[in-house]
Amino acid sequence: MSLKGKNAIVTGAASGLGKRIAELFADAGANIVIADLKLDAAQATADAIARKGVKTMAVAMDVTDESAVDRGFDAVQKQLGYVDIAVSNAGIQIVAPIQDFKFSDWKKLLAVHLDGGFLTSRAAVRQMIASKRGGCILFMGSVHSKEASKLKSPYVTAKHGLEGLAKVISKEGAPYGIRTNVICPGFVRTPLVEKQIPEQAQELGISEADVIKTVMLKDTVDGEFTTVDDVAQVALTFAAFPSNALTGQSLVVSHGWFMQ
């Protein structure tokens, strides 16, 4: 699966899933733009990936900030010419029962996932139309695009919402050769999940081991975590798919936690 000659931007790529996707895309030959909140963290990831022999670039981008997203994509256009692949991946997690959920936390979470998904994909679509090369947009959904869990009202809402956004862009983007898909991972042990284990233990009044066993992996077929590599392989498959037949889809990679 080759991405040779393609330019890919990944948001939230200084850590976790985004970072591994960026590394794997570079292994497949793509030039890589690492977009994240802090320039130094994005730059460190970009520099490490540059050793693979592809062009890299780091941009400081808060995906909830319209001008920051547009400025970041403009910088990419100036330096690399165009974007072929955009992965809207940046995300956060906040857990609490709905009766205690602060409105400010609800808005913060929706802003990162939904405003971020909108602003990132809008900027990508504009460049893909202008370049006349089409492209591939990927959203980082979740099993929570399909299922609900306790304590996650805004996260489940946002991840369901991304599926709708992706379907619209699939239809609107088709005349320009733009395809759009959603990746839906189960639990992966990134910093986002490590932070949640003690938080959920406290909210649910159970041990951290029980959060893993009876909450996170309870419905998997084998009690295993999904890995960053599993998710990055799915992203590469979508990005390298050779035609526009594969669009408007979501693929769950979760050790069978959710089955279509």
Minimum CB distance to ligand NAD, residue 132 (Å): 29
Closer residue to ligand NAD, CB minimum distance, 90 or 217: 90
Minimum CB distance to ligand NAD, residue 256 (Å): 15
Find the DSSP H helices in the chain: 16-27, 39-50, 66-80, 103-110, 116-131, 153-173, 191-204, 208-210, 228-240
Residues 23 and 99 sit within 8 Å (Cβ to Cβ): no
Work out the end-to-end distance of the chain between its first and last CA atoms, rounded to an integer number of angstroms.
Answer: 26
Closer residue to ligand NAD, CB minimum distance, 118 or 187: 187
Q: How far apart are CA 234 and CA 240, in angstroms?
A: 10
Question: Binding to ligand NAD by residue 181, rule CB under 6 A?
Answer: no
**Angle in degrees, 0-180, between the axes of helices 103-110 and 153-173, rounded to the nearest 10:** 30
Closer residue to ligand NAD, CB minimum distance, 176 or 224: 224
Site string for ligand NAD, 120-149 (x = CB under 6 A): --------------------x-x-------
Among positions 43-82, residues that touch ligand NAD (CB under 6 A) are: 61-64
Question: Binding to ligand NAD by residue 14, rule CB under 6 A?
Answer: yes
Minimum CB distance to ligand NAD, residue 17 (Å): 4
Site string for ligand NAD, 24-43 (x = CB under 6 A): ------------xx------
Q: How far apart are CA 108 and CA 97, in angstroms?
A: 16
Question: Binding to ligand NAD by residue 212, rule CB under 6 A?
Answer: no
| Residues forming a β-bridge with 10 | 34, 87
Catalytic residues: 155
Long-range contacts from 199-208, C-beta under 8 angstroms, 24+ separation: 199/95, 200/95, 200/151, 203/95, 203/96, 203/97, 203/151, 204/150, 204/151
Q: How far apart are CA 195 and CA 192, in angstroms?
A: 6
Please give the size of the binding site for ligand NAD, defined by CB under 6 A: 28
Residues 10 and 33 sit within 8 Å (Cβ to Cβ): yes
Site string for ligand NAD, 234-253 (x = CB under 6 A): --------------------
Residues 240 and 173 sit within 8 Å (Cβ to Cβ): no
Stretch that binds ligand NAD, among 73-81, 88-96, 130-138, 166-174 (CB under 6 A): 88-96
Stretch that binds ligand NAD, among 15-23, 49-57, 173-181, 205-213 (CB under 6 A): 15-23
The total number of residues written for the chain in this structure: 260
Site for ligand NAD (CB under 6 A): which residue of 15, 120, 127, 220? Answer: 15
Site residues for ligand NAD per CB under 6 A:
11-12, 14-18, 36-37, 61-64, 89-92, 112, 116, 140, 142, 185, 187-188, 190-193
